[in-house]
Chains A and B, each alone.
Chain A
């Protein structure tokens, strides 16, 4: 026997069994009851029916999503059933003399309650109207509708989750988003540029030392910056704890709380400006080496070119940042690149003690190298120097 035939047979048998329980007094409602019975058939059959539990209505958003998924999967919702209750499609009314035992789910219709429901009532995309004398002993939930009190009583909780109201975005679309992002970036870079010009004006040697440190010891600077980022919070905590434990140092806590973050911020900004300086200097020197006319090469120009390079990193995000997934990826990439640069700059700032010590700036020349021979570019070390007669480090095999 095919599945459809088996289902049809089961339906006939079930109707026969149920019909035997219908007495003559209920004949006027026979059609309605038969309709309800037919709707309960899928549950009775248990043939892959999708049961919904509306016993707990504390999370209406989840319930709505589940119901809509079921409706989407089966638009005729013939197989949606309710645990300890019943489900109906379209407008549904409970007469004043009628009592419904268990939970009641109304799908895409209004629930007019005149009688009594011993359980919860849920309406999806419809109102629940509590008419005079109506009683719902459980909770009531209207999803995409409202609970209208016309004199009835809901003994439990009342919830209504209104229909979604789509509000036009204030951003004005991609162009506006791009312009907003561009304006934000321009503002940040302008601020950094002004700060950078101030640093060049008043602390140019320090900036150049940090910049040289980035240039000559980039990997070391990055590792230092990374380590500093990891250790900054524990160190800060230890300093505060130490001051508090020392009792006398408690007086210094407010200063430390203010000064250390300020110094860290200054180091980060100075480091980032130094990285921009390095980028600009490298770029311009390469162009000059290639014979291009670049005008005057000075720190102001290096900073401007470097910050423009940083802006170029963010350009892709500005233009295509509105694209749902790619925009986020671009933002992440630009952020990562900026973080790498900032970390290296921060580390260089720490390594050079804010541009005071040029130890890692590639400027260190050992005293023994400062000879006439050094000036003539004669190697003092290495294979060439060793082979030279009378060199500073004669091989041990020499007599």
Chain B
């Protein structure tokens, strides 16, 4: 018995060394549909973990998805409903939940989604623990709904929106959200619902009309990068919400930029924040 006990550590070590290294499986999934005269499309994109890129694509395709996914934990999403003109794209986890919490063991999932510039696009994007880049410049964005979890997401409008954007609604959880050249989006109404993450909005771009931006932040801070030719009126409410009023004239809870009267385009910003502050930086 004592001999057996003495041999136990050696046995355990042998078992350790004999165990093969774990293996994981990556698979490619490509999904596309040719453009056959469609003029509008609603795209629902769901991507739990990995790197997501949404960008303009070939003119002859209604949509295209190139996905590399962890086949053990996820399965691809790719279906089109011609009646509703709606496509669902991305990757969902088996059983509806669960990602590799240990990032070292997470496989490098990548999804590249492309749309043509000729279709009025309503985008509904939900990204989880992902690095998301939405390069929407040049696309005809009709509406944008982005739900960003614990992710680092960048939404950029490098070129003016060729269409007419009604609303942009963005929900950010614990991640970091950056929007660049928001003026090019052409969206007249913006709404942000932020959690604890930081939100940076670059207000540069060709604003086609005056716009309104509503920001409901819990604990996170908001940073607005404003061009000098854009008139800003910021209304701040919140118990501990702070606002750097440099370059603004204050009237109660409303701060009006000094260039408001002379500015060609105006942006009304309503910030409701429990604790986070609002910081405006003039470019």
Contacts and interface: CB of A to CB of B under 8 A. Distances in A.
* A pairs with B: yes
B30 A61 contact: no
Interface stretch (B74-82, B179-187, B226-234, B253-261): B74-82
Contact of B239 (A60, A158, A171, A251): A251
Interface string B174-201: 0000000000000000000000000000
A166 B24 contact: yes
Contacts of A254: 239-240, 274-275
Given A60-B76, A174-B15, A166 B32 contact: no
Contacts of A168: 21, 23
A170 B22 CA distance: 8
Contact of B22 (A158, A163, A169): A169
A160 B105 CA distance: 26
Contact of B79 (A58, A61, A161): A58
B20 A173 contact: yes
Nearest to B28: A162
B31 interface: yes
B48 to A, nearest CB: 16
Contacts of A61: 75-76
A253 B219 CA distance: 13
Given A60-B76, A61-B76, A169 B239 contact: no
A319 interface: yes
B239 A173 contact: no
A173 B13 CA distance: 13
Interface in A133-189: 146-147, 153-175, 177-178
A157 B15 contact: no
A322 interface: yes
A160 B66 CA distance: 10
A251 B275 CA distance: 12
Contacts of B107: 167
Contacts of A257: 274
Contact of A170 (B27, B34, B71, B105): B105
B28 A166 contact: no
Contacts of A161: 27-29, 76
Contacts of B33: 156-158
Interface residues of B, number: 34
Given A58-B79, A61-B75, A167 B32 contact: no
B245 interface: no
Contacts of B274: 253-254, 257
Contacts of B28: 160-162, 165
Contacts of B19: 173-175, 322
Contacts of B71: 164
A319 B15 CA distance: 10
A156 B21 CA distance: 42
A253 to B, nearest CB: 8
A6 B124 CA distance: 59
Contacts of A163: 27
A163 B17 CA distance: 30
A178 to B, nearest CB: 7
Nearest to A147: B30
Contacts of B80: 58, 157
B4 interface: no
Nearest to A257: B274
Nearest to A56: B79
B30 A159 contact: yes
B238 to A, nearest CB: 9
Interface string A302-327: 00000000000000000100100000
Contact of A158 (B24, B31, B36, B104): B31
B118 to A, nearest CB: 19
Nearest to B79: A58
B154 to A, nearest CB: 27
A156 B26 CA distance: 27
Given A154-B34, A157-B31, A319-B12, A170 B104 contact: yes
Contacts of A173: 16, 19-22
B76 to A, nearest CB: 7
Nearest to B16: A175
Interface string B29-54: 11111101000000000000000000
Given A156-B33, A157-B80, A165 B16 contact: no
A162 B15 CA distance: 35
B25 interface: yes
B3 to A, nearest CB: 21
B25 A164 contact: yes
B29 A162 contact: yes
A257 to B, nearest CB: 8
Given A154-B34, A319-B12, A171 B22 contact: yes
Contact of B27 (A159, A162, A169, A178): A162
Interface string A26-41: 0000000000000000
B190 to A, nearest CB: 25
Contacts of B23: 166-169
A171 B29 contact: no
A59 B239 CA distance: 50
Contacts of A322: 19
A171 B20 CA distance: 11
A256 B17 CA distance: 52
Contacts of B26: 164-165, 167
Contacts of A60: 29, 76, 78
30 contacts: A58-B78, A58-B80, A61-B75, A153-B34, A154-B34, A155-B36, A157-B31, A157-B78, A159-B31, A159-B78, A160-B29, A161-B28, A162-B27, A164-B25, A164-B71, A165-B26, A165-B28, A166-B23, A167-B23, A167-B107, A169-B105, A170-B104, A171-B22, A173-B16, A173-B20, A175-B16, A253-B239, A254-B239, A254-B275, A257-B274
Nearest 6 CB-CB pairs, A to B? A162-B28, A169-B22, A174-B19, A58-B79, A175-B16, A173-B21
Interface of B: 12, 15-17, 19-34, 36, 71, 75-76, 78-80, 104-105, 107, 239-240, 274-275
Given A164-B71, A319-B12, 10 more contacts: A159-B78, A161-B76, A162-B27, A169-B23, A171-B105, A173-B19, A174-B16, A174-B19, A251-B239, A254-B240
